Amino acid sequence: MDVLDELEWRGLISQSTDIEALREVMNEGPITFYTGFDPTAPSIHHGHLVQLVVMRHLQNAGHRPLALVGGATGLIGDPRMSGERTLNESEVVAQWAAKLRDQISRFLDFEGEAAARMVNNYEWTGELTAISLLREIGKYFRLGTMIAKDTVARRLASDEGISFTEFSYQLLQGNDFLELYRRYGCVLETGGNDQWGNLIAGTDLIRKAEGVTVHALTTPLITKADGTKFGKSEGGAIWLDAEMMSPYAFYQFWVNVEDSDVERFLKVFTFLSREEIEEVVKESTASPWKRIGQRRLAYEVTSWVHGKEATDNVVEASRALFESGDLTQLDASTLRDATDSLPRAEAKLGTTTIVDALVSCGLEKGRSAARRTVESGGAYINGVKVEDPERVLDKDDLLPGDLVLIRKGRRSQGVVTFG
């Protein structure tokens, strides 16, 4: 199948200006396309990952990506349904733009005939005067069309309204497409479904200013099978920066998706072939308790975002924590991330018993119950069964990172650290 059929099969196409006209252009030879990323935070998240997947599919098909970091548009803020954005300081936006540039560059290939290129719209927007914007760009925009944009219309109908700053955003994004068409021959912009109005602003501007037809393509909002919003963990957004969300936490998010979402997410977020996905789904359906689909999904996505080595460490940590693996073989960083959400307590090395540890971590309500758990064979230190209630935690029990893992039964775990 061609790349547009591939994207459609994966559920990655929502709206298009003219899908068949775009197909004809792409069949004539490689095109240049772009996707924009505004630095509104110090990291991209799972929503951006959808756009990067689309970009990589297009690049793998021989088309040339332009990854645009919005150093200028990030200073303004794309209008939201919920109200006016807080404008960040220019220095902060510049720092975030640099971080996003580094992150995005990991997902694309910058060599070969379809080599990607990073661009920053501050390069041309920073030099644009108000008079130039109004005379050369603003004359092509019609107020009625701008007001009719879904987000703008909703904001205008709200009590808060919309500032001229955010209202003008679509002029800047439309101008980005025009500049990239003039500089690189870019004929396609891709983005999320919520960006449709801004994407159309660019295609209309190029048609009026250059007399040329270009294209826009959007991805749908990714939701869970029950229709609710996808992409929140206990700690908040699903960040792609390892410092904001550890590879372990990232992996666990994907491995915990519902059975009903596995097939769709394998299509959207991985590059597995149709045959591979069908096989994984078949195995997963036959043995749902093994979570085969979730594990494969988590491994594929985490490997793409954080690399194979980090992902292998995460998988080993999961095995060690939940399948009686060797905890001593884990590095301190991975072990710290893996146990970050577990209940923990501080204790004194050489005087704290397993009974004390169970109680202080909240795994048992009292010493009598804790003692019974130990004597019945239900207590573990670093995955090793302990049957002596007087067993004391000592320096030989310390794992990398100077902690001891306490377990009750198969799943209840806690961490003891020593001051």
Q: Are 349 and 336 in contact (CB under 8 A)?
A: no
The pTM assigned to this predicted structure is 0.88
Nearest Cα neighbor of 188 from 30, 6, 37, 46 is: 30
User: Per residue in 92-124, pLDDT tens?
Assistant: 999 999 999 999 999 999 999 999 999 999 999
From the number of C-beta atoms within 10 Å of its C-beta (0-12, 13-18, 19+), residue 118 rates as middle
pLDDT at 234: 63
Q: Is 52 exposed, middle or buried (0-12, 13-18, 19+ CB in 10 A)?
A: buried
All structural domains of the chain with their residue ranges: 3-219, 232-338, 344-418
Q: Which of 363, 365, 358, 352 is nearest to 397 (CA)?
A: 352
* Rg value, the chain, Cα: 26
- Contact present, 178 and 205 (Cβ < 8 Å): yes
Rounded CA-CA distance 58/1 in Å is 13
Regions of the chain where pLDDT drops below 50? none
- The DSSP code for 329 is G
Contact 164, 11 (CB under 8 A): no
In sequence order, the 6+-apart residues with CB closer than 8 A to the CB of 342 are: 413, 414, 415
CATH number of 3-219: 3.40.50.620
232-338 and 344-418: identical CATH topology: no
Q: What is residue 125's predicted lDDT score, i.e. its pLDDT?
A: 96
Assigned CATH class of 344-418: alpha beta
**Bridge partner list, 385:** 380
**H or E element in which residue 32 lies:** strand 32-37
How far lies 186's CA from each of 34, 253, 259, 410, in Å? 7, 36, 40, 56
DSSP 3-state assignment of 415? strand
Domain 232-338 CATH superfamily: Tyrosyl-Transfer RNA Synthetase (1.10.240.10)
Please say whether the beta carbons of 149 and 202 come within 8 A. no
Residue pair 296/265 in contact by the 8 Å Cβ criterion: no
pLDDT value of position 298: 97
